[in-house]
């Protein structure tokens, strides 16, 4: 079957009857659809996709996993509702010249004082509207607190959650969301596959039917001496050995070397490695690199030449460089966000 709403329920029902059931992601079925999309063509496409020996299947969720997902989905809905009510209150108060704090918790905390001190700025009708909004905000906060307690109860009910919590920065929310979405994790052969499933991989850039990953297999090198012409030095691999060879080759040609590259999937580990080798390095923001009108073709060779020219002209803007601890917390936050989104969409 195609993984969709209700597919986990029917998969469990068919399994109880003794049948073997596999769920296929809808995005993997789409390439096999012939003609217009309808139930008949979809059924044929599912059979075609299932017959492929390398097809990847979606794990069937248990009723317990779906219960945990339901808790997370309702809690997420309440969080969005709290933000919406808070923004509604702030926006309407601004129409009356009253400035309210940004955070929803701060809005709830200061709302009674704002209503009390507003005086003649608010009419009786407006005051009743804001009172209703404030009461609704309090109710949503109370509902969120109840769901937080349910997440804590779920977390305390199983030792698997406590094992996941041993990872630094992981708490009850992340631990329960991971189990609800990934189950026992047997579908992943290694941790790298799990990271790719979360989305912690370089972004794919496709054009003209050709797909490639930026900085996955090679790096294009361009250089210039003084005010001379910019020349291409070729490509190197992305391993540490290749980077070290490049550093030795550059240091043999000049005493003062300045290296620049775009902030992207390669992260800031390359920056720290180059600095440790004694090279001055700059990481620039891709969105702030000057581009000519109509220049839409993006390749590694063109990017390398453009970076050298822009660096020499002083047109590049450096980005903030986090330390290793900051990067770790950033990756953890991204993983948690991706995990929650996947748990809500599964």
Tens of pLDDT, residues 168-184: 778 888 889 888 888 87
Distance CA 127, CA 325 (A): 47
- Residues 224 and 308: beta-carbon distance below 8 Å: yes
Q: How many residues does the chain have?
A: 346
Provide the pLDDT for residue 213. 46
CA-to-CA dists, residue 318 to 160, 287, 289, 321, 322, angstroms = 43, 11, 10, 9, 12
**Three-state secondary-structure class, residue 177:** helix
pLDDT per position as a tens digit, 80-98: 999 999 999 888 888 888 8
Tokens of 121: 């700025």
Distance CA 132, CA 151 (A): 29
pLDDT in tens, the chain (346 residues): 888 888 889 999 999 999 999 999 888 888 888 888 888 889 999 998 898 888 888 888 888 889 999 999 999 999 999 999 999 988 888 888 888 888 888 888 888 888 888 777 788 888 888 889 999 999 999 999 999 999 999 998 888 888 888 887 788 888 898 888 888 778 788 777 777 777 665 545 555 555 444 455 677 888 787 777 777 777 777 777 888 888 888 788 777 888 887 776 566 777 888 888 888 888 887 777 777 665 556 677 778 888 888 887 777 878 877 777 777 777 777 777 766 666 555 5
- Residues 72 and 177: beta-carbon distance below 8 Å: yes
Provide the pLDDT for residue 260. 81
Domain residue extents for the chain: 7-50, 63-182, 214-315
Provide the pLDDT for residue 199. 67
**Three-state secondary-structure class, residue 158:** coil
């Amino acid at each position: 079957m195609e993984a969709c709403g209700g597919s986990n329920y029917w998969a469990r029902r068919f399994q109880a009857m003794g049948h073997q059931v596999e769920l296929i992601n809808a995005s993997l079925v789409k390439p096999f659809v012939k003609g217009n999309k309808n139930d008949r063509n979809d059924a044929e496409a599912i059979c075609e996709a299932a017959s492929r020996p390398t097809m990847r299947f979606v794990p069937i969720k248990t009723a317990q996993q779906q219960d945990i997902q339901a808790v997370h989905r309702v809690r997420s809905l309440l969080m969005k509702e709290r933000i919406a009510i808070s923004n509604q209150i702030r926006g309407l108060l601004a129409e009356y010249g009253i400035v309210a704090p940004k955070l929803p918790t701060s809005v709830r905390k200061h709302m009674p004082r704002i209503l009390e001190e507003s005086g003649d700025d608010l009419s009786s009708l407006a005051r009743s509207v804001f009172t209703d909004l404030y009461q609704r905000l309090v109710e949503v906060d109370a509902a969120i607190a109840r769901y937080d307690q349910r997440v804590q109860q779920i977390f305390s009910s199983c030792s698997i959650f406590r094992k996941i919590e041993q990872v630094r920065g992981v708490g009850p929310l992340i631990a329960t969301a991971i189990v609800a979405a990934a189950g026992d994790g047997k579908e992943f052969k290694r941790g790298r596959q799990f990271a790719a499933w979360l989305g912690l991989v370089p972004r794919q850039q496709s054009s003209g039917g050709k797909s490639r990953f930026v900085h996955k297999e090679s790096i294009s090198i361009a250089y210039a001496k003084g005010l001379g012409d910019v020349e291409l030095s070729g490509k190197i691999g992305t391993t540490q050995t290749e980077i070290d060879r490049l550093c030795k080759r550059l240091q043999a040609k000049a005493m003062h070397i300045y290296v620049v590259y775009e902030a992207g999937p390669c992260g800031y580990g390359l920056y720290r490695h180059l600095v440790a080798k004694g090279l001055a390095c700059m990481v620039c923001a891709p969105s702030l690199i000057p581009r000519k009108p109509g220049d839409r073709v993006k390749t590694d060779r063109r990017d390398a030449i453009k970076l050298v020219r822009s660096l020499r002209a002083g047109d590049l803007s450096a980005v903030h460089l986090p330390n290793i601890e900051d990067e770790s917390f950033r990756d953890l936050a991204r993983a948690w966000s991706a995990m929650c989104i996947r748990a809500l969409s599964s």
